[in-house]
Structure 1
């Protein structure tokens, strides 16, 4: 199913999951959502990863045909899993971890496979395991970051006078795809949707959205009410580009701001404040530091600069200033006021202190960082100052 080199990586990941299973008392976990299947196997397939608390994972596969390996077992339906465990010499679990974040019908069907077993939450176990990246995962993220930055360096070249925000976004999407972007913006949670990212121009940045993103936008249709809405880009407008960096199955997050002509000094100063928040939190963000402390320091800096009314939104504010990234764009930890999470070395965090200035647009940058003993180390890289498109 995967190479011998990657087998060692899978075992490292399994060890983290098994440590989390012991905390919740599980002697097995049964995984079936795409992001977690990818994490536990190195590919997405239709089926299930079964992880005993001791030993290597087994894969119960429905599709595609042709996957091979001693731990790959083909099934037609999940009800075959219990009998196959017995054939494999594996005990029936007394406490099984299932993904509580998955569809309720799936949860109930899988829980019925082991009627005598207690069921605990695998979603929290997987979230904890995936939050701290392995060296392999960090390499995948760094590769995505390099390609992400290459595209951002070319954004000015695709701008044309008289463009709308959606026309610019389409050109950026084309650049991303030509550079190898996979196109999928994978998000945890059924109520979060977006296509490849967000380009916000002028007052559209102040339009509230139902989704829990840092910035909003009306979108092109009520079926996906977020992002570019066809605004004609005019002088004095800020253009915020926040597009997905998924080139390897691991996503980086990066935002840069462009302008049509000059922006008012208030917007320029707010943008500088965002850069200063990044610098301050980069120094603070060491292992053992509370995620909530980073949030509160960012809010304090915005207030001291006189921009608290515009920080993380104006009409509608986001309740966080950063989030973990990896296979999904909203992983742990979350930098929010009530977060109980503490930074751990090799977590990867997208930091996005942003401002919405009425009648101008959104300003501020976002970069992706690795938590190190010396603070947050940026892996995305592009000029941070506002760049004029003309």
Structure 2
């Protein structure tokens, strides 16, 4: 039974420590992403994690495990009262940011005397620092992610649109093991399998809080919009990796023929920001400082008008990732978080040039005891897709 394995017990112990620190008696987990975190499976039901003692799992379906002292099959969640004295609890954390109002009210009735706390922030805090099994899975996904990117130059054909090329990349991703689903934090965040941007579409604003936008389609206003790939355009491929349970994030820039000298200058500036800022990314470093250092380098190079967009400029330069593509910490000016060993972050200083497109790179880094390790090492220079 996977959720009784040591790594999952470690995660539950971490959550219990946070409950104790905040004076909360129990945590109820119901969302798919957090069930994956606490037990490695998605099921219909809930996990009940007390401040001390064994976690209890209440499953409606599927029924894959034998019943035990910690695994119980129920027809409805109200049956947890047959196993837990819910009426005696005075403080309970529910996933208030991840559920519908009706589901919250239904759970609320199970704990009539309890003060409710929002478990979402607590769970996101716990997930910031990865466990050994999480890091193993992220490493393997990142390795497959890099292998897929090696194929991209061979997929280009004359006359393609941005969407045509993205479809071919998506196909290769699936053949290499991508599950084709990206989980995002936030009910207003949506994405398919990543983003491919070229030309003026790279600067088009989007309602979503990703680093760059793109007009996309009416149903999904993000990313490729059918722009023909023409001579002199940059092609930014930001197809995040989901080769299993955990995500990696990686961006590389390609070109259709020769770009302007300014495009190559700004691309090299992105690479230089990676080298210099990530060299300072040691445990204890403020995430705000990493953002401000990146901003300062862009300003010193006279590139602020193009940094992280044009019409709408993102106010961050990186983010955590794990079970979701946009986890904590966020590398932004108002962040209060500092780097800790075991964090995994995506760093993406990018630039957008009118009529040409976006340039720059993104890598996934593991924060170690002494610095960071690049989990997505791959050639970083702009590759001309017409020179194969």
Q: What is the TM-score with the length of structure 1 in the denominator?
A: 0.96
Aligned counterpart for 1:93 among listed residues 86, 89, 96:
89
* Secondary structure, counterpart of 1:10 in structure 2: helix
| 2:102 alignment counterpart | 105
Structure 2 Cα separation of the partners of residues 37 and 69 of structure 1? 18
Structure 1 Cα separation of the partners of residues 158 and 280 of structure 2? 42
Structure 1 position 320 matched with structure 2 position 316: yes
Structure 1 position 340 matched with structure 2 position 343: no
| 1:204 alignment counterpart | 201
| 2:178 alignment counterpart | 181
How many residues are treated as equivalent by the alignment? 384
Structure 1 position 25 matched with structure 2 position 23: yes
Q: CA deviation at 1:69?
A: 4.8
How far does the alpha carbon of each residue in 1:285-318 deviate from its partner, in whole angstroms, 9 at most, with x for none? Answer: 1111111000000000000011001101101011
| 2:2 alignment counterpart | 2
Runs of 5+ unmatched residues, structure 2: none
Q: What is the TM-score with the length of structure 2 in the denominator?
A: 0.97
Aligned positions of 1:139-150 closer than 5 A: 139-150=136-147
Q: CA deviation at 1:3?
A: 7.2
Contact 2:67 2:73 in 1 (8 A): no
How far does the alpha carbon of each residue in 1:29-56 deviate from its partner, in whole angstroms, 9 at most, with x for none? Answer: 0010110010011011111011011122
| 1:41 alignment counterpart | 39
Structure 1 Cα separation of the partners of residues 191 and 3 of structure 2? 33
Q: CA deviation at 1:264?
A: 0.5
Structure 1 Cα separation of the partners of residues 193 and 102 of structure 2? 29
Contact 1:282 1:377 in 2 (8 A): no
Aligned counterpart for 1:302 among listed residues 298, 302, 306:
298
Contact 1:324 1:347 in 2 (8 A): yes
Aligned counterpart for 2:165 among listed residues 158, 168, 179:
168
Structure 1 Cα separation of the partners of residues 87 and 134 of structure 2? 32
Structure 1 position 61 matched with structure 2 position 43: no
| 1:365 alignment counterpart | 361
Contact 2:141 2:244 in 1 (8 A): yes
| 1:15 alignment counterpart | 13
Aligned counterpart for 2:377 among listed residues 365, 374, 381:
381
What is the root-mean-square deviation of aligned Cα atoms in Å? 1.3
Structure 1 Cα separation of the partners of residues 324 and 121 of structure 2? 15
Q: CA deviation at 1:342?
A: 1.0
| 1:256 alignment counterpart | 252
Structure 1 residue ranges (4+ consecutive) displaced by more than 4 angstroms after TM superposition: none
| 1:158 alignment counterpart | 155
Structure 1 Cα separation of the partners of residues 203 and 218 of structure 2? 16
Contact 1:196 1:244 in 2 (8 A): yes
| 1:284 alignment counterpart | 280
Aligned counterpart for 1:235 among listed residues 231, 234, 241:
231
Runs of 5+ unmatched residues, structure 1: none
| 1:245 alignment counterpart | 241
Contact 2:350 2:361 in 1 (8 A): yes
Q: CA deviation at 1:91?
A: 8.3
Structure 2 Cα separation of the partners of residues 342 and 280 of structure 1? 18
Contact 1:245 1:253 in 2 (8 A): yes
Contact 2:87 2:111 in 1 (8 A): no
* Secondary structure, counterpart of 2:349 in structure 1: coil
Structure 2 Cα separation of the partners of residues 92 and 163 of structure 1? 64
Structure 2 Cα separation of the partners of residues 263 and 375 of structure 1? 34
